[in-house]
């Protein structure tokens, strides 16, 4: 039997557990932290995530993945929350599908270190079909960004 996720906002945590089960997110060891409605995404350090071993710096692909995942999951949560307000039916875990990326641009501001990396998204526009999202990523200091991203997404 498929377990249904209710519309209670506390159950966003349950939604996040489902999303955490996506193989690529498990591969990256992605962790979610929800404070109120604010989502912070974290990638814990892992020796396999290094790009240049001489520095050593986080691989650009890991940084880009963190930013893109943060944007998508933030959009997904906002839509699930809206869905409940619209009095739609609860969704089953199987129905949780992340939005599709149309385009995503990453700016690398400084080298990523082999320590915890965090990201938060800001949804600038979410229509019926398209959404535009900005993401910031940092390590020790929230005000010292090591990467930023902008993306356009198709809401499916």
Partner 1 sequence: MFEIPKNLPDANEFIQRLPFSKALNMRVDELAESRAIMSVPYDLLIIGNPATGVIHGGAVTALMDTCCGLAVLAHPDVNTPMATLNLKVDYMRPANPGQSITAEAECYNVTRSVAFVRATAYDEDKARPVATTHATFTLN
Binding-site ranges for partner 1 (CB under 8 A)? 21-28, 47-54, 57, 59-62, 64-65, 68-69, 94, 97-98, 100-108, 111
Q: Toward partner 1, which CB reaches closer, 138 or 146?
A: 146
The dihedral sign for the CA sequence 145, 25, 123, 152: positive
CB of 28 to partner 1, least distance (A): 8
CB of 85 to partner 1, least distance (A): 25
CB of 77 to partner 1, least distance (A): 17
Q: To 5 degrees, how large is the angle CA 139–CA 109–CA 107? A: 110
CB of 63 to partner 1, least distance (A): 9
Q: Toward partner 1, which CB reaches closer, 72 or 78?
A: 72
Q: Toward partner 1, which CB reaches closer, 38 or 107?
A: 107
Cβ-based neighbours of 87, under 8 Å, separated by 6 or more = none
Q: Toward partner 1, which CB reaches closer, 23 or 36?
A: 23
CB of 84 to partner 1, least distance (A): 22
Q: Toward partner 1, which CB reaches closer, 8 or 61?
A: 61
């Amino acid at each position: 039997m498929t377990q249904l996720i209710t519309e209670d906002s506390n159950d966003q945590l349950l939604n996040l557990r489902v999303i955490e089960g996506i193989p690529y997110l498990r591969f990256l060891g992605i962790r979610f932290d929800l404070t109120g409605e604010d989502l912070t995404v974290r990638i814990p350090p892992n020796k396999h995530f290094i790009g240049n071993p001489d520095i050593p710096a986080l691989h650009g692909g890991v940084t880009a993945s963190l930013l893109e995942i943060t944007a998508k999951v933030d959009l997904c949560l906002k839509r699930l929350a809206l869905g409940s307000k619209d009095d739609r039916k609860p969704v089953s875990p199987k129905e949780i599908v992340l939005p599709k990326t149309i385009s995503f641009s990453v700016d690398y501001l400084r080298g990523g270190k082999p320590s915890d990396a965090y990201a938060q998204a800001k949804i600038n526009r979410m229509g019926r079909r398209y959404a535009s999202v900005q993401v910031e990523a940092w390590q020790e200091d929230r005000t010292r960004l090591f990467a930023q991203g902008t993306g356009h997404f198709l809401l499916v």
